[in-house]
Amino acid sequence: MRVLGIETSCDETGIALFDSEQGLLADALFSQVEMHIEHGGVVPELASRDHVRRLLPLVDQVLAEADLSARDVDAIAYTAGPGLVGALMVGAATAHGLAWAWQVPVLGVHHMEGHLLAPMLEEERPEFPFAALLVSGGHTQLVAVHALGHYELLGESVDDAAGEAFDKAARMLSLPYPGGPHIARLAEQGNPDRFRFPRPMTDRPGLDFSFSGLKTHTLTTIRALEAQNALDDQTRADVARAFEDAVADTLVIKCRRALDQTGLKRLVVAGGVSANQRLRQRLDAALEKRGARAFYPRGRFCTDNGAMIAYVGTQRLMAGERDGQAMLATPRWPLSELTPPARRQD
């Protein structure tokens, strides 16, 4: 089965073609980052309008890259949530329009299930069951993945997501949006011994996260340095390093705990923040000591993309799941509400 995947939940338009026999045939992405940069974050209305402009040309591009035509597409999968409602609507309307025109089945899929299974696009893929750390701009969750669609929430952030914390810390240091990669780059020059930031909620049991205290600590540190006229380039790098170390350590401590608690030996790390190299190095080292192993998506599939949506869609469509004619756009949608693929008829 050959599935066209459509991702429009936030500020990237992602289109891909996945074949159940041959794997990923083509994928294309248009990032709106440049457009949102001057606003310091994603402007939902601008995001929706840009998805309208980019979607169909990207579909053509992906078909051309795979040397296929619309007739070769067996089904369409699109991100039905969670995300920005206007942006989701553009993807849903396009998916349903194409499915109707091409007379193929269509299925709305969960964006975070896409992130969760993105490592399945790699050659070395984890077998079920595994634990997963989902770290994106909107989510920080630890999940026990028993099977496709069988997800048990082990812990999550009680306030900011890890990516959101990166973005806010970046703004405090006058770095552009999205902040994660900029903090990581600046932290390269930083001295790890200059500041030590708190590792929130690691001193008590449990698998929940909280990043708002760390955010406040970062702001207080920056304000104090500014008041002393001491926020020079080296100091900014030192702050970035202390912040990145604190987030990475916190995530590693909770992942170790999740593996101990569940007895699982495989950990998937996905979502935008999983691109962070310091996090990867520390996780790999911590897991090796336990005889466990981490699986990551390749760099460009850590952040939003169409390939992960095409992949999840293929798995569910192959199991007979499909939607009726109603377009689905669900801005809030807990991952734990998902169920294994089912033959749906409505």
- Enter the tokens of residue 136: 């994106």
What span, in angstroms and rounded, lies between the C-alpha atoms of 131 and 285? 17
- Residue 78: CB minimum distance to ligand KG4, A: 15
**Does residue 304 touch Zn ion according to CB under 5 A?**
yes
- Residue 76: CB minimum distance to Zn ion, A: 20
Q: Which stretch binds ligand KG4 (CB under 6 A): 150-158, 208-216, 266-274, 284-292?
A: 266-274
What span, in angstroms and rounded, lies between the C-alpha atoms of 323 and 325? 7
- Closer residue to ligand KG4 (CB): 2 or 254: 254
CB 274 within 8 A of CB 161: no
CB 9 within 8 A of CB 47: no
**Does residue 157 touch ligand KG4 according to CB under 6 A?**
no
Non-local (6+) Cβ contacts of 183 within 8 A are 166, 169, 170, 173, 175, 240, 243, 244
Q: Please indicate if the annotation marks 137 as binding a ligand.
A: yes
**Does residue 13 touch Zn ion according to CB under 5 A?**
no
Residue-wise over 70-79: b if at least 16 C-beta within 10 A, else e? eeebbbbbbb
**Does residue 82 touch ligand KG4 according to CB under 6 A?**
no
- Of the candidates 179, 190, 306, 313, which one interacts with ligand KG4 according to CB under 6 A? 179
- Residue 12: CB minimum distance to ligand KG4, A: 7
- Closer residue to Zn ion (CB): 173 or 312: 312
Q: Are strands 106-110 and 75-81 parallel, antiparallel or unpaired?
A: parallel
**Does residue 8 touch ligand KG4 according to CB under 6 A?**
no
CB 336 within 8 A of CB 153: yes
Give the one entry of Zn ion, ligand KG4, none that residue 178 binds, where binding means its C-beta sits below a cut-off of 5 to 8 angstroms depending on kind. ligand KG4
**Does residue 249 touch ligand KG4 according to CB under 6 A?**
no
- Enter the tokens of residue 310: 């095409």
**Does residue 136 touch Zn ion according to CB under 5 A?**
yes
What distances in angstroms separate CA 292 from CA 256, 286, 295, one per listed residue? 10, 9, 10
**Does residue 306 touch ligand KG4 according to CB under 6 A?**
no
Binding footprint of ligand KG4 on the chain (CB under 6 A): 10, 136-138, 163, 166-167, 178-181, 184, 271-273, 275-276, 303-304
